[in-house]
Amino acid sequence: MRDGKHNDNWVDLYKAALLEEDQEKQLKRTDVAADALRNRIWVLVQELHADHIGYSTDSGEWKALHDALRTLGALRDGCISQQHRRENHGGSKNPTCGETAND
């Protein structure tokens, strides 16, 4: 599937996860975006093996997919650990998890 709509789906979900301000919604959006990224990677792997037409792991999209997946993982891990600290130790809020420092 090399249509723009399919390729843009993961990009839109990734952006929505990064821009979400509500922490609970951000965690859900992060999961949805990560699933879309994994699905797109799987499609590229299938295409690479099926028809050997030039898709490679050196392509810009391949790198962007893996970079986005790592970023979402770090964002999710940071939000979860920050949430855990708040629940168990009354820690401060993390502005990167959809909240401002003044909340």
pLDDT of res. 15: 95
pLDDT of res. 86: 73
For residue 102, being part of any structural domain is answered with no
Q: Indicate if the alpha-carbon torsion angle 18, 24, 27, 29 is positive or negative.
A: negative
For residue 90, being part of any structural domain is answered with yes
pLDDT of res. 91: 54
CA–chain centroid gap for 57, Å, is: 19
Contact 25, 98 (CB under 8 A): yes
For residue 103, being part of any structural domain is answered with no
For residue 37, being part of any structural domain is answered with yes
Q: Give the count of domains, the chain.
A: 1
Q: Which residues of the chain register pLDDT less than 70?
A: 1-7, 49-59, 90-103
pLDDT of res. 2: 45
pTM: 0.61
Which residue range is the domain that position 27 belongs to?
A: 4-97
